[in-house]
Structure 1
Amino acid sequence: MDVPPFPDDAPTVPIARVSYAALRAGDTVESQKVLTACTTDGFFYLDLTNDASGQELLEEAGQLHGLSKELFDAPVDEKMRYLNDRGKSLFGYKPTGAVKSTDQASTRDTTEFFNASKDHLHNITPSRTYPPGITTSQSLCQSFTQNAHVCAQVIMRTLARQLHLTDENAFARRAEFNAPSGDHLRLTKKSPSPGDSDGQTIGLASHTDFGLVTVLFNWLGGLQIQSLQPENAGQWCFVKPLAGHAIINLGDAMVKFTNGTLKSAKHRVVPAPGLQAAVDRYSVVYFSRPADEAIMEVLPPFLGDETVQIGGKLGEEGERYTTAEWMVRRLVQMGH
C-alpha cells in the first residue's frame, strides 16, 4: 500500500515477531514467544505471509481498507443514519468526539468507527441495519471474520498449551464461532493531524480491550503502548506497522480467566509520526470475545488467595456474572 514511510527516529517498542504457520504447526519456540509477549508487552506481530489462510486474511484486510474509504467518505448525514446506541450497543457508526467516562481529562477522540457484529454478518442473531457498503460486501466481511476468528483461536490454544492447561480449548471453547457474543469487525478512520505526534490530539484515549484476542491490521503509525525497556520504561512508544503482519493483543477477559497471569496492555492512538501524520489513517480490526453466556470467572488452575480485578467489575467479590452482563457495564464506561 502506497503510504509515506514510517520515520526512523520515532520511538518504537521492539515487540516479538511470531510466525502464524509455525503456531498452527505447534512449534514450541514460536509458542513460547507468544506466552512471553502476553505476559510482558501484551502485544506481538503475527507474520501471516507464510500461511495460506494468513495470506487470505491479509488480502481481505486490504479489501476492507478499500471499503473503509468508501464508507467514511459518505456525507455525515448518511453515516449518522447508522449511529450506534451509545452506552448500550457497539454496533453501527461511532462518530468522532467521544469521551470515555473514565478519562479525567475529558479528551474527545478523533476516530470514527463502523462496527459490524459477527453475529449479524453470519445471521446468528437478528441484525441491525448497516450501510449498503457493508451489506453488499457481506461475503467479504463473513470470510474475514471467519478467518480472523480462527486466528484468535489458534492464539488461545497456543496460550493454553504454554500455560500447561489440561484442556487446550479452555479459552477457545468459551468463544465458539456460532455462539452469540460481542465479536465484531471494526473499520476505523482517523483524519490527519499534521504536526502533532505528542499525544495532544488523541485518536483513541488510553484503554485496554474488553475481550479475548484482538487481531489488528493497520498501514500507518499511531498505535502506541507503554514501553517496558529500561531506557524508556513507561514512555508511550509507537508500534510500527509491518507489511504482511497483523498486530495481536489480549483483552481483559483473558486477564480475568487467568487471574492476571496474562496481560491486557494499555494502548492508545495518536497522530502518526512524520509525514504519515498528513494522511488519513485506516485500520481493520477483529475483536474476539467470550460468548454472551460464558461466566466471567477465574479458571480453576489460576485460583489463589486473591482475585485480580478488571475494568467493569460487577457486584460483590465472588459474584458470578456472564460476559453479557459484564459488557453492559463496560459499554457505559465507553462514555458519550
Structure 2
Amino acid sequence: MPLSTSILPSFPEGLPLAPIATVSYKQLLDGNHNDASRVLEAAQTHGFFYLDLQGAPEGDTFLSEAEQLYALAKDAFASPLDEKLQFALERGVSLFGYKPTGTVKTTDRSQRPDSTEFICIAKDHLHGVTPSRLYPPPIEQHRPLLQSFTRHGHACGMLILRTLASRLGLAPDAFTRLNRFDQPSGDHCRLTHTGPHSADANNVLGLPSHTDFGSVTVLFNWLGGLQIESPSSISSSGSSSSSHESEWLWVQPLPGHAIVNLGDAMVTFTNGTLKSAKHRVVPPLGSQGAADRYSVVYFVRPHNDVPMRALGEFDRGSGLAAAAAAKAVAGKFSAGLEEGEVLTAGEWMRRRAVQLGN
C-alpha cells in the first residue's frame, strides 16, 4: 500500500459487518461464470459487493490512479474555505463543483446537517463532451490524471453492466447503450473529505441515508464509516420497515478493492429486479475517528436523453414486489408528475439534485 494510506489507523474489530461478496475484476474480464453470478446475486440482495482489482493491468492502473487522487483530495481540501467556495456548485441546478459541509438533505428525516465536503468533476467537462466550468487549481492541474481515472471508472461500470445483462439473458448492450461515455450525462468523479470527530460523534452525520441516483457507483475509501442497511430492515415492498429502527452494517475497506453498488436507474430499467441499497456515512469508530476521511468515487449515470422507464423485457410480469420497488424509486420525486409522465435522465438527475437540500 502506498505510504499515504499505509499509516492510517486500523479498522476496529468486533463491528457488525455487511456480508457482501468479493468479485474478481480479472475473472469478470475472462468471463468467469461464478464471479458473474456473484455480481447478479449482489445486485438482487445487498446491492453492494467488493471488486478485487488486483492482477489485471486495467485494474492495477485504476487502483494506482485512485491512490493518486487520494493525495490530490488532501491537497484540494486543504485550501481555505473562501477559496473553495469560489468554485461552489449551483444547488438545484448542477452537481458539479464544490459542496461545503452543512447540507441538510430534504428527504432526510433526521434533518441533521452533513459533515462532508466534496468536489464533483464532470466526465463531460474532462473529455470535451460539453463546455467545462472552472474547478479549484489542484483539480485543473491534474486533468490528465482525472481523464484517465474517469475512463477506467466508466470501463469498470460497463463491465458490470455487461455482466448483469449476460446473467439476465439480455443483449450484451442492453444497459451499456443507456450509459454512453461520449454523450452528455451526469457521470463524474467525486472527491470527498470528512474531518476528525470528537466524542460527540453520535450527533454527527457524514452523509445521510440515501440510494445513489444513477447506474453504477465505484468507490475507493481507506477508513471506515460506510454503512449499508441490512436486508432484514427492509419490507417486501422495498421500503424500510416502520416498525423498528433500521439495522446498519459496516463495510470494511479492503486493500486492493473497490466497493461497487447499483443506483436507482438500474431499479427503474429492470422494474425492481435489481436493487439500489440504502447506505450512509457515519463517523469512523476507534482510533480512525481521529483521522481525516477521504474517498474517491466514480458515478456512471445514464446519458441525458435516455427515458427513465423499464426496458421492454421488464415492463410487465415482474411481480408486485418488483413493481412496488420500482415505484418507490420514482416516488422520491413524483410530486408534480402527470400520470404516465416519463422523465429523461437529465431531468431525473436535476430533480434529484434539488433534493440535496440547503
Give TM-score, length-normalised by structure 2: 0.90
Q: What CA distance in whole angstroms lies between the structure 2 residues aligned with 1:18 and 1:221?
A: 20
Q: Does 1:300 align with 2:312?
A: yes
Deviation at 1:323, TM superposition (A): 0.4
Report how far residue 103 of structure 1 moved.
1.6
- What residue in structure 2 maps to residue 174 of structure 1? 178
Q: What are structure 2's unaligned runs of at least 5 residues?
A: 234-244
Cα distance, 1:304 vs. partner?
A: 1.8
Q: How does 1:307-326 map to 2 (within 5 A)?
A: 307=323, 308-309=326-327, 310=329, 311-313=332-334, 315-326=337-348
Which of 87, 92, 99 is the equivalent residue of 1:94? 99
1:219 aligns with 2:219: no
- Residue 357 of structure 2 aligns with an amino acid whose one-letter code is G
* Residue of structure 2 in register with 1:286 after alignment: 298
SS in structure 1 at match of 2:39: helix
Give me the whole-angstrom Cα distance separating, in 2, the residues matched to 1:162 and 1:197: 42
CA contact (8 A) 1:196 1:271 kept: no
| Unaligned residue ranges in structure 1 (runs of 5+) | none
Runs of 4+ in 1 over 4 A off after TM superposition: none
What's the CA shift for 1:11?
1.8
3-state DSSP of counterpart to 2:69: helix
Of 278-287 and 234-243, deviating more is 234-243
| Aligned counterpart, 1:154 | 159
Counterpart secondary structure, 2:89: coil
- Between stretches 321-330 and 272-281, larger displacement belongs to 321-330
Which residue identity lines up with residue 194 of structure 1 in the other structure?
A: S
Distance 1:133 1:326 in 2: 31
Shift of residue 234 of structure 1?
A: 4.3
CA deviation map 1:261-307 (0-9, x unaligned): 00000000000121101000000000000000111110011112664
* 1:224-235 mapped onto 2 (5 Å cutoff): 224-228=227-231, 234-235=246-247
Partner of residue 249, structure 2: 237
Matches within 5 A, 1:45-56: 45-56=50-61
Distance in 1, matches of 2:339 and 2:315, equals 14
Give the alignment partner of residue 39 of structure 2, picking from 31, 34, 38. 34
Amino-acid identity (%): 53
The alignment of Structure 1 onto Structure 2 pairs a total of residues equal to 333
Read off the aligned partner of 1:257 and give its amino acid letter: F
Pairwise CA distance, 1:196: 5.0
SS at structure 2 position matched to 1:77 = helix
Taking the TM superposition and a 5 Å limit, the aligned residue runs for 1:76-95 are 76-95=81-100
Match of 2:139 among 130, 134, 143: 134
**Equivalent position amino acid for 2:119 in 1:** F
What is the match of residue 275 of structure 2?
263
What residue number does 1:330 align with?
352
Counterparts of 2:50 and 2:287, CA distance in 1:
23
- Taking only aligned residues, the RMSD between alpha carbons, in angstroms, comes to 1.6
Contact kept in structure 2, 1:10 and 1:273, CA below 8 Å? no
| SS in structure 1 of the partner of residue 87 of structure 2 | coil
CA deviation after TM superposition for structure 1 residue 104, in Å: 2.7
Deviation at 1:117, TM superposition (A): 0.3
The aligned residue for residue 238 of structure 2 is none
> In structure 2, do the counterparts of structure 1 residues 8 and 197 end up closer, same or farther at CA, with 3 Å as the change threshold?
farther
| 293-302 or 310-319: bigger deviation | 310-319
38-47 vs 308-317, greater mean Cα deviation: 308-317
Which range moves more in the overlay, 315-324 or 245-254? 315-324
Q: Aligned partners of 2:59, 2:247: CA distance in 1, in Å?
A: 32
Contact 1:84–1:90 (CA under 8 A) maintained in structure 2: yes
Task: Report what 2:129 is aligned to.
Answer: 124
Q: Compute the displacement of 1:64 (Å).
A: 0.3
Q: Using the TM superposition, give the Cα deviation of residue 229 of structure 1 relative to its aligned residue in structure 2, in angstroms.
A: 6.5
Is the Cα–Cα contact under 8 Å of residues 189 and 282 in structure 1 kept in the other structure?
yes
Q: 1:16-51 CA distances to partner (integer Å, 9 max, x unpaired)?
A: 000000011111100000000010000000000111
The Cα of 1:318 is off from its aligned counterpart by: 2.5
Contact 1:194 1:271 in 2 (8 A): no
Other-structure match for 2:66: 61
Structure 1 residue 228: deviation in Å? 3.3
1: CA distance, partners of 2:42 / 2:55? 21
Cα shift readout 1:82-127 (whole Å, capped 9, x = no counterpart): 0110111100000000001112321100000000000001111001
Q: Which residue of 1 aligns with 2:213?
A: 210
* Gap change, CA 1:172 and 1:196, over 3 Å in 2: farther
TM-score of the pair, normalised by structure 1: 0.96
